[in-house]
Amino acid sequence: MALYRDHGIVLRTHKLGEADRIITFMTERHGKVRAVAKGVRKTKSKFGARLEPTSHVALQLYEGRELDIVTQAESVDHFKAIREDLDRISHAVTMLEATDQLSLEREPNADLYRMLLGALRAVDARNSALVVAGFHWKVLALEGFRPQVESCVVCDEPEGLVAFDPTEGGLLCAEHRRGTRVSPEAVELLQQILGGRLAQALDAPASPATHEVDHLATRVMEHHLERRLRSVGLLD
């Protein structure tokens, strides 16, 4: 078996036998990797709590036929604020689930790894009302679905945008309105997120408009995945 090193974020875990777990990582250089952490459920495990969802770790693994084996795991980011706050946990888990669904095993995707890591660090630092929505919209753009938000997708009119339809690919004016109604404030936030002004959008305080954008991002992500995100609203 080949030995390799990488950095990874724990997406999810499953019990295996009496003492082991299967850990699913999003890694920097190897894409999504599933690996066995032997003895991790024992009280005196050498891994401690370093292999729980959201953990960012430096890894050493043996490559196996079906599942790799974790031999070393050292914490890089502890994300203490996430672990101690239910709202932060909910936001983080939603992003982990979306990443898990979007990624393929053994297919490198360093951009997705970096986006997830940056989003987790943002949640840990301040938990903006739009950090999950910003992550979803940016990841959708990475996947090739960047909605048109600067003008109507039908007539290209930049003024009076009042609705969003994922099947049409973006915002629509009053004349061509279909899909979900959006407020002018939500339109501005969408244009900030997808127009290179994400930091400005993340500074926005919680409001009906941020809720609109967050709800819309979830709907569009689920439309893209063709499945519901089970973690959405988990702690509501």
Q: Which residues of 211-225 are buried (b: 16+ CB within 10 A; e: fewer)?
A: ebbbebbbbbbbebe
Q: Where are the domains of the chain?
A: 3-79, 81-225
Query: Could you give the 3-state DSSP secondary structure of residue 54?
Result: coil
Angle at 208 between CA 217 and CA 145, to 5 degrees: 15
DSSP letter (8 states) at residue 85 = -
Residues 223 and 166 sit within 8 Å (Cβ to Cβ): yes
Given this model, what pLDDT does residue 233 score? 57
How large is the average pLDDT for residues 142-166?
A: 96
Contact indicator for 8, 28 with CB cutoff of 8 Å: yes
d(CA 42, CA 44): 5
pLDDT tens-digit readout, 72-105: 999 999 899 999 999 999 999 999 999 999 999 9
Query: What is the structure's pLDDT at 1?
Result: 59
> φ and ψ at 187, to 5 degrees?
-60, -45
Phi and psi for 32 in degrees, rounded to 5?
A: -80, 130
Residue whose entry in the numeric block shows the structure tokens 């969802």: 53
Which option is the CATH number for 3-79: 2.40.50.140, 1.10.357.10, 2.60.120.380, 1.10.10.350? 2.40.50.140
Burial label, 206 (beta-carbon count in 10 A; 0-12, 13-18, 19+)? exposed
State residue 49's pLDDT score.
83
The confidence band for 232, taking pLDDT boundaries of 50, 70 and 90, is: confident
Q: Which two tokens stand for residue 187?
A: 């339109």
DSSP 148: B
* Token code pair at residue 148: 């048109």
Which CATH number is 81-225 given?
A: 1.20.1440.120
User: Nearest-CA neighbor of 11 among 116, 132, 125, 137?
Assistant: 116
Look-up of token digits 């190897």: 30
Supply the mean pLDDT for the chain.
94
To the nearest whole percent, how much of the chain has pLDDT over 90?
A: 89
Which whole-number Å values give the CA distances from 218 to 63, 132, 211, 212, 236, in the listed order?
35, 9, 11, 10, 15
Q: CA torsion 150→155→158→164, rounded to 10°? A: -50
